[in-house]
Chains A and B, each alone.
Chain A
């Protein structure tokens, strides 16, 4: 039997119970470079095995050769939809380890930027989830709002995506004049026009509800056992948000709600994200009200040689972004371990995919929303 003969599909294989189907690594719905090896029985999935590592680009190894502050731009590229949150996570860890003071204004700017970035990330998730469901238009509407956010970011940081804005002991530059008005305008637009638009466009659609309600249920116990993070944890009814429960930076000064939903299905996870955008807007408004004047950069020791180890985490759009740092009293980090929320979230996929339809595993990947920059690092 020749090689080509061997590659040919066999009637026995197809007609019988099991068909092994590869989704990815190039596949429109895998949000990057995920490969899922699924075993099908008809249209039902009996087993799904994610294969990751297609974007393993050695972040943790490379940064061992770079200085403490050189690492910051590279953290942007880990979760490339939550750049500021990543920078914040890393910088916070180094600051704690080296005992660096941060001016108060810088803290507020960091919070504002982080929350804007959370909105941007959730907008994309809204779009890609709709695209997984076969509706292309909401995706472009998500991008329409993201472009406005890009403009807002660009005015402050000079970059659309990879900001490199949060620095040790502060942020790179102060906010430009009149920027706060622009942000507030954007938030008004988001709350009054955009999100109702999205409801009309997608969420109120009966097909959307039929596809997402009661599908892909993740129980509370499983969510905790797998270390799920962020909207996936909260969508399963666990009231846990690092911003409120273990406040870092200045999050204890803001009044906001932690959105939870009990159902644990696609719809719950999706709606947690939609509602979180409004909560983020609330935080940004309060931050602008409370923000003091003052410098945005503190003093960093000229020779930065922290020693010891630390685990520090922030709440990113996808959940807990944790950084474990080991410093050995040198210019460079000895070890940087990136605890990526998507990594833990994606490991639930085999459990959730079991027994689903092929069409639903696509949605499951959509609501788990893995970003492969941080899954594979």
Chain B
């Protein structure tokens, strides 16, 4: 077989104009509301603290396994690591889930579905990109059918590296997300307002 002049197997990516992901379903809803909008002062800060405390300690995650990482996610929910200690329960319906753990490779065929699921979730919703594939495509990023990172489809809060991440790593990611939730909505109103404007501008860009 003479193949020296043949094209080898790597996939070459052709540059093309920017387009968005195809979106099935409803519009993107509002940014997670802070209570400060309605009343200023010490009451609302305490209220926000209470809200954040509730949210961070009761993150029910969607039973949504994509690939290999799903097995580690199940292991984290299992007896030894036990997600339930953090108040996290696997929940089948996206409407009632708070956290989406994208555990595995997102392909072109799956991407619109992931987007739809994310849109079906009620605010406040959080996303953890679990593993190398969900972060940036991982070992499959050369593939012609693999989305290089779930953050091309939905916004991600916490990235957990690893292929697949150990349960300890996933738990650490969850703790990081809890810290993130804990400070949400507690900034000075002006600053937050500014940020919101910025984020809307970003949204329009996207």
**Chain A residues engaging chain B, CB cutoff 8 angstroms:** 25-28, 31-33, 53-59, 61-65, 73-74, 77, 80-81, 124, 140-141, 143-144, 146-147, 150, 160-162, 307, 328-330, 332, 334, 372-373, 376
Whether the Cβ atoms of A73 and B67 lie closer than 8 Å is no
Whether the Cβ atoms of A26 and B68 lie closer than 8 Å is no
Not counting A25-B113, A146-B75, a sample of 17 additional A-B residue pairs whose C-beta atoms are within 8 angstroms of each other reads: A25-B110, A33-B65, A54-B109, A54-B110, A55-B107, A57-B67, A58-B144, A61-B143, A65-B11, A77-B67, A77-B139, A80-B67, A140-B79, A143-B78, A328-B3, A334-B3, A373-B68
Whether the Cβ atoms of B146 and A26 lie closer than 8 Å is no
Minimum C-beta distance from A49 to chain B (A): 16
Instruction: Assess whether B163 is interfacial by the CB under 8 Å rule.
Output: yes
16 contacts between A and B (CB under 8 A): A32-B67, A33-B110, A54-B110, A57-B105, A58-B140, A62-B11, A63-B9, A65-B142, A80-B68, A140-B79, A143-B78, A147-B75, A147-B79, A330-B3, A332-B9, A373-B67
Closest to A29 in B: B92
Note all chain A residues with C-beta closer than 8 A to B142: 58, 62, 65
Whether the Cβ atoms of A307 and B66 lie closer than 8 Å is no
Note all chain B residues with C-beta closer than 8 A to A32: 65-67, 70
Note all chain B residues with C-beta closer than 8 A to A329: 1, 3
Note all chain B residues with C-beta closer than 8 A to A53: 107, 109
Docked Cα-Cα span, A73 to B132, in Å, equals: 14
> Given A62-B142, A81-B71, A124-B71, are A56 and B113 neighbors across the interface (CB < 8 Å)?
no
Q: Is the interface of B mostly helix, strand, loop or mixed?
A: loop
Closest to B74 in A: A143
Instruction: Assess whether B62 is interfacial by the CB under 8 Å rule.
Output: yes
Minimum C-beta distance from A25 to chain B (A): 5
Give B91-144 interface residues, CB cut-off 8 Å to A. 92, 94, 104-105, 107, 109-110, 113, 117, 133, 139-140, 142-144
Minimum C-beta distance from B143 to chain A (A): 3
Whether the Cβ atoms of A61 and B144 lie closer than 8 Å is yes
Interface size class of B (residues with CB under 8 A): 35 or more
Note all chain A residues with C-beta closer than 8 A to B67: 32-33, 55, 57, 77, 80, 372-373
Note all chain B residues with C-beta closer than 8 A to A161: 68, 71-72, 164
> Given A32-B67, A161-B164, A332-B9, are A143 and B110 neighbors across the interface (CB < 8 Å)?
no
Q: Which of A58, A144, A162, A307 contacts B1 (CB 8 A)?
A: A307
Q: Which of B63, B72, B110, B140 contacts A160 (CB 8 A)?
A: B72
Whether the Cβ atoms of B78 and A77 lie closer than 8 Å is no
Instruction: Assess whether B10 is interfacial by the CB under 8 Å rule.
Output: yes
Note all chain A residues with C-beta closer than 8 A to B107: 53-57, 376
Instruction: Assess whether B85 is interfacial by the CB under 8 Å rule.
Output: no
Note all chain B residues with C-beta closer than 8 A to A328: 1, 3
> Given A25-B110, A124-B71, are A65 and B94 neighbors across the interface (CB < 8 Å)?
no
Docked Cα-Cα span, A332 to B104, in Å, equals: 27
User: What mask results when residues 138 to 164 of chain B are scored 1 for a CB within 8 Å of chain A, else 0?
Assistant: 011011111000000000000000011
Instruction: Assess whether B38 is interfacial by the CB under 8 Å rule.
Output: no
Closest to B70 in A: A32
Q: Which of B62, B71, B78, B109 contacts A80 (CB 8 A)?
A: B71
Instruction: Assess whether B186 is interfacial by the CB under 8 Å rule.
Output: no
Docked Cα-Cα span, A27 to B80, in Å, equals: 25
Closest to B10 in A: A65
